[in-house]
Structure 1
Amino acid sequence: MIGRDEILGILEGYDPGRIAIGVIGSHSALDIADGAKEEGLPVLVVAQRGRHRTYAEYFRQRKKKDGLTKGFIDEVIVLERFGGIIEIQEELRRRNVIFVPNRSFVVYTGIDRVENEFLVPLFGSRNLLRSEERSEEKSYYWLLERAGLPYPEAVKPEEIDDVGLVIVKLPHAKKRLERGFFTAASYREFREKAERLKKLGVITEEDLARARVERYIIGPVFNFDFFYSPIDGEIELLGIDWRFETSLDGHVRLPAGQQLTLPEHQFEPEYTVCGHASSTLRESLLEKVFDMAERYVEATKKYYPPGIIGPFTLQTAVDKDLNFYIYDVAPRTGGGTNIHMAMGHPYGNALWRKPMSTGRRIGLEVKRAIELDELEKVVT
C-alpha cells in the first residue's frame, strides 16, 4: 500500500492555485466533472478509445461562434485501454491532478496497482477500496459486522431449504464489471440454475465456488448517497437512488404466466445495471439511516485509518417491518449519482441551499481544502 506520507510528499510539489480534478471516463465521471466545474476547478478525463467520444466530443467544453460556452470537460486524455493510466501518472502529477476514484477505475486498473503503483493523490480513502471485493477476508461484510450494522446473513448452499429465498452474488463470466447474480429458494433450484447459467456462459464454476450466498430481503431497495467531510467532521446525506437492471426490470413487467413461458436463454433475468432513478425516504426512517452512516464512518476510522473520506453509498433493502439491511457498500462515489448532476440531490440541495450533487460536493471539499490549506485531510 502506498503510504499516505508518500502521497502528501507528492502533494507538496503541487501548485495549490492550479489543482485539477481527474477521473476515469466511465461510471460517474460526468457527475464528478460537472461538479468540479461548478466549483471552478479544471477537469481532466482519462478515457479509453472506443468509449471516449462522450467526454472528448459531446460534453467537452467549447466556445460557440456567438461567444456562448457549451460543455464542462476541459481536457481528455485518450488511452488504448483504461489500465494504461498507470503509464501516464507522471503527466497527471505534472498537471496537479487530484484523482477521484470510481468503480471503473478500480476494476480496469486493478486494485493491486491502485494500492501500490498509482502515485497520484486520490480524493478519498485508498485503503478502503479493496473492501468492496466480496471475496476479500476484510470485505465490507467484515466491516459491517464490526460496526454492528445489519446485513443479510450468509447461507451455505446446502442450507437454502431451511432458510428460504437467497440471492447468489458473483461476477458475470464475460462482463466482469457486471453481475451474474441469481436467486434460489431451494438447494435443488440453486444447482439447476447454476448449471443453466454456466451453460449459457453467464457464470463460471470458479466464480460460483467463491460466490456470496445470502438471505434475500424482500422489499424496496434504497442506495443512500452520503458524504463525510474530514474538514468539518460531519456526515451529510446528499441523496437516494435506486437502479434499473437488465433484464430483471423487463421480467417484472411481464405477467407471471408469461414469465413461465420464456425460452431457456431468456428464463433467468440478469442484473446488469443500466440506469438509476431518484428517490426520497419517509422522514420517520431517516434517523435509522443516519445511525447506520455514523456507525460505518466510526468503523472505518478504527479499522481503516484515516477512515472514509468524501462520498460513500450504503445500498440497502427494507423488509416489511421497516428494518434496513445493507447488502452492498461503495466506499467512493456511487454509480447512481449522475441523476443528480447539475440539479443536485434533494437532501444536499436543502442542506447547502443550492444545487449540490455528489460531484459538486467533492469539488466544494477540494476547493475548501485548498483555501483552508488542508488538502492533506482529503487525499490518500
Structure 2
Amino acid sequence: MISRREIHQILKGYARERITVATIGSHTALQILKGARDEGFKNLVICKKGTEEVYRQFGVADELLTVENFTQVLETEFQEGLIKRNAILIPHGSFVEYLSPARIENELKVPIFGNRAVLNWESDREKEREWLVRADLRLPREFKSPAEIDLLVIVKFPGAKGGKGYFLAGSPEEFERKIRKMKLRGKEKFTLQEYVIGTRFYPHYFYSPLTERLELLSIDIRYESNIDGLARLSSLLEDLHPVLSFVVTGNLPVVVRESLLQQVLGMGLRVVKASQELFSPGLTGPFCIETVCTEDLEFVAFEISARIVAGTNLYINGSPYSQLLYHEPMSTGRRISREIKIALKQGQQGQQGSLDKIIF
C-alpha cells in the first residue's frame, strides 16, 4: 500500500486556498459536487465518455474531464494533472468498484478523503465480519459450504455491484440448481448468509476525527429489482416461480421510531471504536451499516459500506436528522466538504496536521 507519509508529502505541496474537490461521475457525484460548491470549493468530475451530459445538465460541475475508461485515472499523467489541480478525491461505491480496492491502495497517489486502509476491511467479507463482530453487532449466520444450508440464505458475491447476481436458496439442492443456471460455478467466491426477515434500514453516519463526534445524517431503504416489484404480485405469481433478483434501482426516505435511535447510534459508535482498534486511525467521514430490524425490534447488521452511499442522494437538501444538527441544508456530500473546510481553518489557526487527519 502507498504509505500515509507519501500521500501527506504530496498534500504538503498543495495550495490550501485552491483545493479542488474531485470525484468520478457516478453514484453520488452530483451530491458531492454540489456540496463542494456550497462550501466554497472548486469542484471537478471525471466522466466516462458518453455520460457528460448528466453533469452539464445539472450545472453543478466547475470542471469536467472525460476518459474512455475509469482506470485511466490511475495513469501517471492523469494523476499528475489532478495533483497539479490540488485535487482531493472523494471515494464512493462506483469509484471503488471501477478502480478496485487493491489498485486504489497501491497505485493511486492522489490524496483521498478518508482512510484508504478501510478498503481492505470493507471488500474482504471475512475481515468485514471480524470488524462487525469486534463492534459487538448482531450478525446473520454464515455457512462455510452449500452442504450446510438448513434455512433460507442469500448468496452474495464480492464488490460493490448493487446486489447484482445475488440469489436466495433454502437447501443445498436449490443452491446447486440456481448456481448452475446462472453459470457461476467456479467463477467467483461467494458468501452464504442467513436471510433475515424484517425491515431494511440503511443509516448514514459521519464520523469526524477533528471533533471526535459521530453524526447520524439520514436513513434510507433500498428499492431492489425484481424482489420489491414481485412483492406486489405475490398472489398472482404463486405457480410461476420467477427468479428473484436484488439489483438496487433506487432509494426511499425513512425515519425510524425514536425509541430505536439509541440502538442506531450505539451501532455506529461501536463500529467506529472497533475500526480504530483494527486499522488505526480508523473510519473517517461517511459510512453506512446495512441492517434489518426484526419484529422484536432488534437490529441485525449484514454489511458495512465505509464511504458515502447512494441512499444519501435523497437528502441533497438535508434530512429530518441533519436538520436537528445543522441550521443549513446538510447532505452527506456537503458534510465531507465541510470537514475539509474545518481542517483547513484549523491549519490556518496553527493546528498543524488537521488535514492529515482526514486525508489518505
TM-score by length of 1: 0.89
Tell me the residue number matched to 1:34.
34
AA at the equivalent of 2:330: M
Is 1:170 paired with 2:172? no
What SS does the aligned partner of 1:277 have?
strand
AA at the equivalent of 1:94: K
Tell me the residue number matched to 1:89.
79
Tell me the residue number matched to 2:186.
206
1:1-380 to structure 2, matched below 5 A, reads 1-55=1-55, 57-59=56-58, 71-87=59-75, 88-135=78-125, 137-138=126-127, 140-155=128-143, 156-161=145-150, 164-170=151-157, 178-198=163-183, 204-207=184-187, 210-261=189-240, 267-341=242-316, 343-373=317-347, 374-380=354-360
AA at the equivalent of 1:205: R
Deviation at 1:177, TM superposition (A): 6.1
What SS does the aligned partner of 1:152 have?
coil
Residues 243-281 of structure 1, C-alpha deviations (whole Å, 9 max, x = no match): 11112222112133425326xxxx212211111111101
Residues 23-68 of structure 1, C-alpha deviations (whole Å, 9 max, x = no match): 010111111111111111111001111222212x212xxxxxxxxx
Tell me the residue number matched to 2:351.
none
Deviation at 1:352, TM superposition (A): 1.1
Q: Give the whole-Å Cα distance in 2 for the aligned partners of 1:177 and 1:90.
A: 31
How much identity, in percent, do the aligned residues show?
Answer: 40
Note if contact 1:39-1:363 (Cα within 8 Å) is conserved in structure 2. Answer: yes
What SS does the aligned partner of 2:237 have?
helix
AA at the equivalent of 2:79: Q
Alignment length, in residue pairs? 351
Q: Give the whole-Å Cα distance in 2 for the aligned partners of 1:151 and 1:222.
A: 14
251-260 vs 118-127, which moves further:
251-260
215-224 vs 181-190, which moves further:
181-190
Tell me the residue number matched to 1:66.
none
What SS does the aligned partner of 1:32 have?
helix
CA distance 1:178–1:167, shift in 2 (3 Å): closer
Root mean square deviation of aligned Cα: 1.7
Q: Give the whole-Å Cα distance in 2 for the aligned partners of 1:243 and 1:74.
A: 31
Q: Give the whole-Å Cα distance in 2 for the aligned partners of 1:344 and 1:177.
A: 24
Note if contact 2:82-2:110 (Cα within 8 Å) is conserved in structure 1. Answer: yes
AA at the equivalent of 1:224: P
AA at the equivalent of 1:49: K
Q: Give the whole-Å Cα distance in 2 for the aligned partners of 1:317 and 1:327.
A: 8
Q: Give the whole-Å Cα distance in 2 for the aligned partners of 1:51 and 1:142.
A: 38
Note if contact 1:309-1:378 (Cα within 8 Å) is conserved in structure 2. Answer: yes
Q: Give the whole-Å Cα distance in 1 for the aligned partners of 2:134 and 2:208.
A: 22
AA at the equivalent of 1:246: S
Deviation at 1:159, TM superposition (A): 2.2
TM-score by length of 2: 0.93
Note if contact 1:46-1:78 (Cα within 8 Å) is conserved in structure 2. Answer: yes
Deviation at 1:307, TM superposition (A): 0.5
Note if contact 2:162-2:248 (Cα within 8 Å) is conserved in structure 1. Answer: no
What SS does the aligned partner of 1:372 have?
helix
Note the residue ranges of structure 2 that are not aligned, 5 or more in a row: 348-353
Residues 268-321 of structure 1, C-alpha deviations (whole Å, 9 max, x = no match): 122111111111010111111111111100111111111100000111011111
Deviation at 1:171, TM superposition (A): 5.5
AA at the equivalent of 2:210: I
Q: Give the whole-Å Cα distance in 2 for the aligned partners of 1:273 and 1:131.
A: 23
What SS does the aligned partner of 1:332 have?
coil
Note if contact 1:171-1:178 (Cα within 8 Å) is conserved in structure 2. Answer: no
AA at the equivalent of 2:344: I
What SS does the aligned partner of 1:90 have?
helix
Note if contact 1:316-1:326 (Cα within 8 Å) is conserved in structure 2. Answer: yes
Q: Give the whole-Å Cα distance in 2 for the aligned partners of 1:34 and 1:260.
A: 48
Q: Give the whole-Å Cα distance in 2 for the aligned partners of 1:77 and 1:285.
A: 44
CA distance 1:12–1:171, shift in 2 (3 Å): closer
